Amino acid sequence: MVVALAVALLVILSSASIAGAEDIYSQRTIRLAREIHCPICVGESIADSQTELARQMRGIIEEKVQAGETDQQIKDYFVARYGESILFDPPKSGFRLGLWWMPLVAVALGAVVVATFIRERTRAPRPITP
C-alpha cells in the first residue's frame, strides 16, 4: 500500500514538473521545438529532451519568438548551425527529392520487369521451321 502511494505521488509530481516546464515557454516555442532534433538524443526533439543543450535551444527559440522572428527564420537559424538534418522534416528538394521518388521509380521498374517476364513465359512457343 505504501509503495502504491509512493508511486502515485511520484507520477503526480513528475507530471506537475513537466507541466510547469512547458508553462515557461509559449505554445509556439513548444511547437517549433517539436520540429527540431536534439543533437545529443537520437530520435528525440528538443521539446522532449532533458539535456542542457536542448534546454538552451528551447531558450533560444523562446527569445527569437519574443523578438518577433518568423518560424522559418528560427528554423533557418538552427539549420545554419547544425545542417538540415536538425529538422525532423527537412525540405524535400534537390537530392532529398530524389530520395523520396527513388522507391516509387524502383517499384515501377520492377513491375515492368515482372510484366515482361510473365508475358514472355505465357506466350505460345514459336514453331520450328526447317
Distance CA 101, CA 44 (A): 26
Q: Which three cell numbers stand for residue 51?
A: 539535456
Predicted local confidence at residue 102, as pLDDT = 82
Residues of the chain short of pLDDT 70, as ranges, are 1-23, 90-100, 124, 130
pLDDT digits (tens, 9 = 90+) for 27-52: 999 999 999 999 998 889 999 889 99
Ordered by start, the domain boundaries in the chain are: 20-90, 92-123
CATH of 20-90, one of 1.20.120.530, 2.60.40.10, 1.10.1510.10, 1.10.8.640: 1.10.8.640
End-to-end CA distance of the chain: 96
Q: Mapped to the 3 state alphabet, what secondary structure does the chain carry?
A: CHHHHHHHHHHHHHHHHHHHHHHCCCHHHHHHHCCEECCCCCCCECCCCCCHHHHHHHHHHHHHHHCCCCHHHHHHHHHHHHCHHHECCCCCCCHHHHHHHHHHHHHHHHHHHHHHHHHHHHCCCCCCCC
